[in-house]
Amino acid sequence: MAAIGENSKPEYSARIVQARAYDYEWPRQAPVANGLHTYATSDVSVVEIRTDIGITGYGVGRPRVGEREMRREFLSRLIGADATMTEAIWESLWSPKMSGRRGNETRALSSIDIALWDIKAKMAGLPLYRLLGGYRQRIPIYIAGGYYGKGKGLKELQAEFAQYAALGARAVKMKVGAVPIPEDLKRIAAVRQVIGDDIELLIDANCAYRYFEAISLSKQAEEYRVYWFEEPVQPDDYEGFAKIAAATAIPIAAGENEYTKHGFRDLIKTQAVAVLNPDVRYLGGVTEFMKVAAMAQAHGLDICPHGEQQAHLHVLAAIPNARLLEYYPQQIDPMAGKCFLYTPALNADGSVTVPEVPGAGLDPDFDALAPYQL
């Protein structure tokens, strides 16, 4: 088999001369909880890949045990490779037998793939979304919040969502699944009351339910005009997704814990999920994200990615079937909007404008991140 990129024309190549990652973690103002997990901190890993033509690419991942070690191993293999040969590099690193099919190894690969596409876009002198095809310059967002917290009752929940509405959000998301269903229904009703009828309301269980519990909640929540029900059951419970979708009018959203085009192929086959939530940092980077987006488009499905808004700006702006960008405010993450140099502000109409700078827009603000380096 030919070496990675050995047939590239020299004038088009960008040989990798250095590849490393920086890991950061910082405390939240207070711990937050979803249906299954509690988070006291937030984090990011920044991949930095330098080339022999003076262009540096940046990607993002998470500094979690396993992902960090796999990333370090993968980065060590890149020296001398042609950064423009993204398909070849992806295939050389993704090895189910040697590394694994899903999880930390694919997340590590994702962060590297994002950095390689950043290099390619910078070489072309184009924002990444234009290089990938270019479809829109503004993306509507939803603000993700509504976590559980100590001492957080209905009044505090309503005050939180009143803030989001005041920011201009036309859609908001809240957590369910950590308390009994009757209590969550009161929380849903309270949020709908404060945001009114003109703002879309999304709910997210983070896999907390069995399928019959999710059906019970969703049928009772229909009166509150819920826009979608995200991850009602565990990601491999395809039968559960199908049973829930057949029992309720609320569309099902899923996919943040799905990996590669193969996983999304199987999820799409269920015909139960109306909205796909791929995370470019998890499923296999830009290379896989664009393939999944095309598959979704062919099946009439929308893409609404999970997680870090900055990582998804350009891939969403490049595709016609993007619906919403997940957006975290500083109330949830104190470093939101501070980690990167080219972070767009929230527009008055509840959208963000993609930065017109060459690359993926992920050049980190190392000065702001420095106090939190691991």
| pLDDT tens sequence across 45-65 | 999 999 999 999 999 999 999
Contact partners, residue 292, CB within 8 Å, separation at least 6:
261, 264, 276, 278, 283, 303
Q: Is 61 helix (H, G, I), strand (E, B) or coil?
A: strand
128 confidence band (pLDDT: 50, 70, 90): very high
Q: How many Å apart are CA 228 and CA 274, to the nearest integer? A: 9
**pLDDT for the residue 3:** 53
Cα 245–Cα 249–Cα 254 angle in degrees, nearest 5: 45
Per-residue model confidence as pLDDT tens digits over 192-218: 999 999 999 999 999 999 999 999 999
Running DSSP on this structure, what letter comes out for residue 263?
H
Q: What is the mean pLDDT of residues 169-195?
A: 98
pLDDT given for residue 331 in this prediction: 86
pLDDT of res. 137: 97
The answer to whether 171 and 346 have CB atoms below 8 angstroms apart is no
Buried b (16+ CB within 10 A) or exposed e, 58-70: bbbbbbeeebbeb
Distance CA 272, CA 189 (A): 26
Q: What is the DSSP string of 164-233?
A: HHHTT-SEEEEE-SSS-HHHHHHHHHHHHHHH-SSSEEEEE-TT-S-HHHHHHHHHHHGGG-EEEEE--S
pLDDT at 12: 87
Mind listing the domains of the chain with CATH numbers? 10-126 (3.30.390.10), 130-361 (3.20.20.120)
Q: 2 pLDDT band (50/70/90 cuts)? A: very low
Residues 288 and 261: beta-carbon distance below 8 Å: yes
Q: Residue 332 pLDDT > 70, yes or no?
A: yes
CA atoms of 152 and 326, how far apart (whole Å): 23
Contacts of 181 (CB under 8 A, 6+ apart): 213, 216, 217, 220
pLDDT band per the 50, 70, 90 thresholds, residue 101: confident
| 175: annotated active-site residue | yes
> Which listed residue (120, 173, 261, 306) is catalytic?
306
Closest CA to 83 of 129, 125, 46, 114: 114
The model's pLDDT over 26-38, given as tens digits with 9 standing for 90+, comes to 999 999 999 999 9
299 in active site? no
Proportion of the chain above pLDDT 90, given as a percent: 94
Q: Of 6 and 146, which is predicted with more confidence?
A: 146
Report the pLDDT value the prediction gives residue 1, as an integer from 0 to 100. 38
Query: 7-43 burial string, b = 16+ CB within 10 Å, else e?
Result: ebeeeebbbbeebebbbbebebeeebbbbeeeeeebb
Per-residue pLDDT reduced to its tens digit, 222-277: 999 999 999 999 999 999 999 999 999 999 999 999 999 999 999 999 999 999 99
Q: What percent of the chain has pLDDT over 70?
A: 97
Q: Is 94 helix (H, G, I), strand (E, B) or coil?
A: coil
- Structure tokens given for 170: 């036309």
**Average pLDDT along the chain:** 95
pTM of the model: 0.95
d(CA 307, CA 64): 15
Annotated catalytic residue within 175, 261, 312, 314: 175
Q: Give the pLDDT band (50/70/90) at residue 88.
A: very high
Q: Cα separation of 164 and 112, whole Å? A: 34
